[in-house]
Structure 1
């Protein structure tokens, strides 16, 4: 039984804005995705028995058709006309309910692993179509790097890689339901929107972390009111962060720091306050 193991990186949203709602209820967004080095490990094998099986080292992760990785395997099988089963193993390192795309990146990793196992049974357009059907973040994880996203996240444009190893990501004990977060967004009255287009242009011009930081922002910060998020942001800024912004619909927070020393110092302080804090780099 041949297996493929893939690294499934997390993401942060350097900028995230909601620009409207489609007729089918999906929210329209514009964002700048950035892949980071915090990652799950996903191993996929094709089996003679027809079942899809999924295991994970974190008990809270659903090992059932509710999991995006499971759905990815099922939809790939249907699209490619495969009769074989799929065995998926996930080693989870991306925190849950963090806005870091943990489920989405696992789903993308399954799609890419099945492409490798089948010798690219599906054209790239079909793979992207499946990714879009799985969730707004999944298409980005087929490519990674730094990218501008629009629509519901499926309209992607690669940007010059934003390279830094002075990034700290932290998360408290509370999580955020994506559905609840979008509901709170809908209730906002005349919110101040983050300058995603300015951020995009700065990245296209090869902006430094100091130039990028003032343009980073997330509309969800106005909608998701978690004391832990505010505490993490305050700590990062007190420790010298150039900016501190919640990612996705929460509840993880990233901070861009001017150098590695200040990033590691801030991380040490955060470890005393929250269960997850890590210095990482962009991919």
Structure 2
């Protein structure tokens, strides 16, 4: 039997860093939603008690460094499963892009193994297991739209955002979240209006959402990688109605209400940036 799981990318509609924790992580407040850009994860059982990862990407390891591998290993440890699994990952989400591709894969493995072995573990419990792998994994276990607090492990559902298109532009660089968080000066951060973003979702107010999105890490990343700022400016000049960097970057996205305009912006950005996508919000 083969279990298939979709692993959608996430976007940050708001990302705020509140404080530094004693464990070295940061307390955050993040409003996230999913988009129609997904990896595809296929899982089947092996005769031997081992974990195998197969994928075609020169940028993603297929050993114990892979978050999907870590998810499978942790799942087997927590639930005392002495069986092997083969995990095949078909990558579509850009790597080190601020779109949570690795976290989405790990979350898909947790959900998939739960189905493969018919354990009926509640989603909340899977998210708690996922928190031990990475800060974005709990949200990716739930999917849809939500606000994550703590270091990302506390997730509360929110209404889906208004229907619109998203144009994504990723420069040809990879950004390490850890490196960006190390450079944070909490006293100088520009905090986003997360409350207004949440209100916009509850009110299904697209203009309000576009004017409220914000990311406290944006200036930190743009200082280290000026091309991110250039892409953001170009996206805004092209006519996107709300423009923001997702996660720790470097991907910049633009919210666009109508497909014809999204297509024009996509074409405009293609001449400016190598990796460009246009997709729907599905959160």
Where on the TM-score scale, by shorter chain, does this alignment land: which range?
A: over 0.9
Is 1:276 aligned to 2:245, yes or no? no
User: Paired residues, what number?
Assistant: 280
Q: Could you tell me which of 193, 197, 211 is aligned with 1:195?
A: 193
1:92-145 CA distances to partner (integer Å, 9 max, x unpaired)? 110011110000000000000001111125444442221010111101111111
TM-score (ref. length: structure 1): 0.95
Q: How does 1:242-281 map to 2 (within 5 A)?
A: 242-281=241-280
SS of corresponding position for 1:149: strand
1:1-32 CA distances to partner (integer Å, 9 max, x unpaired)? x1111110000001101001111111010011
- Supply the distance in 2 between the matched residues of 1:257 and 1:123 (Cα, whole angstroms): 36
Q: Could you tell me which of 212, 223, 226 is aligned with 2:220?
A: 223
SS of corresponding position for 1:229: helix
Matched with 1:39 is 38
TM-score (ref. length: structure 2): 0.95
- Supply the distance in 2 between the matched residues of 1:34 and 1:127 (Cα, whole angstroms): 19
Deviation at 1:165, TM superposition (A): 3.4
Matched with 2:106 is 107
- Supply the distance in 2 between the matched residues of 1:9 and 1:17 (Cα, whole angstroms): 22
Structure 1's consecutive aligned runs of 4 or more residues displaced over 4 angstroms after TM superposition are none
- Supply the distance in 2 between the matched residues of 1:280 and 1:123 (Cα, whole angstroms): 30
CA contact under 8 A between 1:99 and 1:248: conserved in structure 2?
yes
- Supply the distance in 1 between the matched residues of 2:163 and 2:239 (Cα, whole angstroms): 16
Unaligned residue ranges in structure 2 (runs of 5+) = none
SS of corresponding position for 2:183: helix
- Supply the distance in 2 between the matched residues of 1:125 and 1:169 (Cα, whole angstroms): 30
CA contact under 8 A between 2:162 and 2:204: conserved in structure 1?
no
CA contact under 8 A between 1:17 and 1:31: conserved in structure 2?
yes
- Supply the distance in 1 between the matched residues of 2:210 and 2:199 (Cα, whole angstroms): 13
- Supply the distance in 2 between the matched residues of 1:5 and 1:262 (Cα, whole angstroms): 34
CA contact under 8 A between 2:51 and 2:86: conserved in structure 1?
yes
Is 1:212 aligned to 2:209, yes or no? yes
Which stretch of structure 1 is more off in the superposition, 60-69 or 154-163? 154-163
- Supply the distance in 1 between the matched residues of 2:195 and 2:138 (Cα, whole angstroms): 20
1:168-219 CA distances to partner (integer Å, 9 max, x unpaired)? 111010111111100122x3543321111121122122222x1111100101
CA contact under 8 A between 1:184 and 1:224: conserved in structure 2?
no
- Supply the distance in 2 between the matched residues of 1:122 and 1:81 (Cα, whole angstroms): 13
